[in-house]
Structure 1
């Protein structure tokens, strides 16, 4: 299940501690009108909780530099869609906070609309920028080549599996080199348990997770071009796309996907929150956040001794000439309102929160991977072995190309995989239906011929 859905579930019933409020800082960067006050928006409770305790330390750090800066935390728990709608309205009306913490998929559209401050000059002068992994920088770089956010986390997507269950069943737990090899193992599990053994997000009920956590990670490793950044166009027919839809078709035909669960509302609940923790569904496509938010001690469905019972595989190769890989799934970053009256102070806050102990505490709290090289020895992040292992994979993981029209492509993927789940289409038919719907949704000017 995606972190966004976890946060949404965790926030159910929580009273809003704040609301998106006007950004205008009292006093500018020159401080002539008194202390500089900047506002920081956190729309997910877990992030707001950890950042709240860090802000006084930032204010003290600024005081030591002779700058009187006050930070007001705007904690406004929202789902992803609610946040996207609300922050767009606030930025358009000139009433958004100075600093906004959000996922990279939101940055592209807001930066393109001129709502976010270009950070290139700030980053060029910041020695901390040299510590970032190139993959993290590449993920934050926007289509115009510039940066409009400072990434303060990363994540790695792979296949999580129950080591204890597979060993008990006598099934090989070594890294599968190909999907055919993995499917053979999955059939062994099904023969012994009678249950569908793997969950990969698919269909319409999982929403955007079908695209970002299910389809895209598989497609990205096929070597086929899906989105061309230079032309800003999508290629809707390729060997990789056909192979990916064929894989879904094969998994459904062989009874390896939990079709009924995937068709029901909130499909992550019976799969990732019940069957995977019970061990009756031992393989799940998942991101590194799962160590905390899904199966950690305080997660949605805790697994006792999770590090002993759960392991990860890279995605196996799907087409000839490729090899196993993990996916760099990006993460949240701090962006600055282009209309902030205290842009310099806002950038200082974003940099400070993305450095040292302040960053280590956030990463450990939300179960994220460090996007920079110098955190592995800093507590409490250094005490998270599963996150450190994911960080090592980050260095060689694949960064999928994503661009304008992604929401429309996601919708077409959801519809096509839903047809596979229902038995209305095999892999070839789903690929054709996907290409047709995606072209209609995108418009011809965003589709490569």
Structure 2
């Protein structure tokens, strides 16, 4: 489950100031001997990369390149990572390559800490094959790339197929939210309990924004963030419809209101009730197959692939079609101050390709960011990940930009007011628009 991964965004101007051009024609060479330090701050990622490093070094040796890799394993929470690596970048002690969630990239790139990779990527044939949604997520506000995505996630609605089928509830793809709500009401009427969890309120933190609200509003066709103008539209039919949906789900008793208001709301909902089948629908991303409900996850579900399936998000506004959301995966960023940029880029390209990529994706539970890995074991034998990858081609990229964390704060407060019964959808939408405008400032708000 992804949480607290929204790094303070920077303005396009700041990013331009911090921009550093790639040095693909530098004279550092890759013949070596050189040593590249690679930081992994999640143990699961470090475990699989550790096994890959000797193979990378051998592959480079066959090409006449003496490149050694020193793996720095430092298990940290996202907040701890952000604080520590920022200090290291500032002091000039950061590793050559840092593996990080895509939401961290904007802040580090804007501060000038990451190498611009455009020239390297444009010369790499695989880059042309990357799914457009993945490229779009990685592109920064100045139009350049400062990281290489090596995985992708897809957000959708996960449901307990076994539970719903036993209750006689239709498990086909719901075309609209009205259709899905009709099914959820049948579940709740039979069990007397909430039937869907969508992150909401302040206790879930940034997840209320990235895992809850944003995937829904993204499918409404309303302009929320104008990337070209760099401004947010804070009042629209799509925003109103999204807040109305939260209000309807709350009023009908379909959302687990009390759990959402308590600390760590993901624990009673995604880690207890969904696994036991008493809360059968959950907004979730690809990472859930591994980190939440897989054999080594926080709350394993035995035979999870037989019991759990996914729906695309139903249409919320008239005329819409069901859709999935392209979520950000992890990216390799190269330290702008590295003494060996060519060797560092060789490493991140190799790790993002072929067998190395297949092993990482399978271990982490992520979709491939580009074609060409679906026939490579062990990824080839992961139907849930292959299904997620197939959705990347026509999935929606959620609108995000400068001011994400401030908009997230306003969404958290507005949805909390709904959970507390203090506001209906219209009132929450109005409060959101006012709060977000004050937090963003007039320069980031569309008139």
Q: Work out whether the TM-score is over 0.5.
A: yes
2:327 and 2:125 map into 1 onto residues whose CA distance is 25
1:202 and 1:4 map into 2 onto residues whose CA distance is 14
Aligned partner of residue 175 in structure 1, secondary structure: coil
2:17 aligns with: none
Q: Deviations over 1:326-368 (max 9, x none)?
A: 0000211111111110111000001000000000000000000
Aligned partner of residue 298 in structure 2, secondary structure: coil
2:18 aligns with: none
1:60 aligns with: 58
Aligned partner of residue 155 in structure 1, secondary structure: strand
Question: Is the 8 Å Cα contact of residues 4 and 207 (structure 2) preserved in structure 1?
Answer: no
Q: Deviations over 1:131-185 (max 9, x none)?
A: 2112211221111111111110000000011111111111111111110111111
2:2 aligns with: 2
2:79 and 2:438 map into 1 onto residues whose CA distance is 23
Question: Is the 8 Å Cα contact of residues 105 and 146 (structure 2) preserved in structure 1?
Answer: yes
- Trace 1:402-421 onto structure 2 (pairs within 5 A): 402-421=400-419
Q: Which runs of 4+ in 1 moved over 4 A?
A: none
2:321 aligns with: 323
1:266 aligns with: 264
1:11 aligns with: none
1:443 aligns with: 441
1:348 aligns with: 346
Question: Is the 8 Å Cα contact of residues 204 and 266 (structure 2) preserved in structure 1?
Answer: yes
1:97 and 1:407 map into 2 onto residues whose CA distance is 27
1:69 aligns with: 67
2:277 and 2:127 map into 1 onto residues whose CA distance is 42
2:420 and 2:362 map into 1 onto residues whose CA distance is 40
Shift of 1:105: 1.1
2:61 and 2:365 map into 1 onto residues whose CA distance is 31
1:287 aligns with: 285
2:11 aligns with: none
Shift of 1:3: 6.5
Question: Is the 8 Å Cα contact of residues 4 and 205 (structure 2) preserved in structure 1?
Answer: no
1:378 aligns with: 376
Shift of 1:300: 1.1
2:82 aligns with: 84
Shift of 1:4: 6.9
The runs of 5 or more residues in structure 1 that have no matched partner are 6-27
1:165 aligns with: 163
Shift of 1:30: 4.4
1:231 and 1:81 map into 2 onto residues whose CA distance is 30
Question: Is the 8 Å Cα contact of residues 4 and 79 (structure 1) preserved in structure 2?
Answer: no
Shift of 1:31: 7.5
Shift of 1:299: 1.1
Q: Deviations over 1:384-412 (max 9, x none)?
A: 11100111111111001211110111111
1:432 and 1:377 map into 2 onto residues whose CA distance is 50
TM-score norm. by structure 1 comes to: 0.93
1:119 and 1:360 map into 2 onto residues whose CA distance is 23
1:107 aligns with: 105
2:129 and 2:392 map into 1 onto residues whose CA distance is 14
2:236 and 2:86 map into 1 onto residues whose CA distance is 35
Give 1:423's match in structure 2, choosing from 417, 421, 424. Answer: 421
2:305 and 2:334 map into 1 onto residues whose CA distance is 37
1:134 aligns with: 132
Instruction: Flag the 1:237–1:35 CA change in 2: closer, same or farther, 3 A.
Output: same
Question: Is the 8 Å Cα contact of residues 29 and 36 (structure 1) preserved in structure 2?
Answer: no
2:152 and 2:159 map into 1 onto residues whose CA distance is 21
1:186 and 1:84 map into 2 onto residues whose CA distance is 39
2:23 aligns with: none
Aligned partner of residue 35 in structure 2, secondary structure: strand
Aligned partner of residue 204 in structure 1, secondary structure: coil
Aligned partner of residue 74 in structure 1, secondary structure: strand
Aligned partner of residue 379 in structure 1, secondary structure: coil
RMSD: 1.4
1:17 aligns with: none
Q: Deviations over 1:171-220 (max 9, x none)?
A: 11111111011111100001111010000000111111100000000000
Task: Give the paired residue count.
Answer: 426
Question: Is the 8 Å Cα contact of residues 29 and 343 (structure 2) preserved in structure 1?
Answer: no
TM-score norm. by structure 2 comes to: 0.93
Shift of 1:286: 0.5
1:234 matched to 2:232? The reply is yes
1:191 aligns with: 189
1:177 aligns with: 175
Shift of 1:130: 2.3
1:91 and 1:373 map into 2 onto residues whose CA distance is 33
The runs of 5 or more residues in structure 2 that have no matched partner are 6-26
1:36 and 1:52 map into 2 onto residues whose CA distance is 18
1:109 and 1:214 map into 2 onto residues whose CA distance is 23
2:36 and 2:167 map into 1 onto residues whose CA distance is 57
Question: Is the 8 Å Cα contact of residues 414 and 431 (structure 2) preserved in structure 1?
Answer: yes
2:250 aligns with: 252
1:411 and 1:404 map into 2 onto residues whose CA distance is 14
1:64 and 1:31 map into 2 onto residues whose CA distance is 13
Shift of 1:111: 1.2
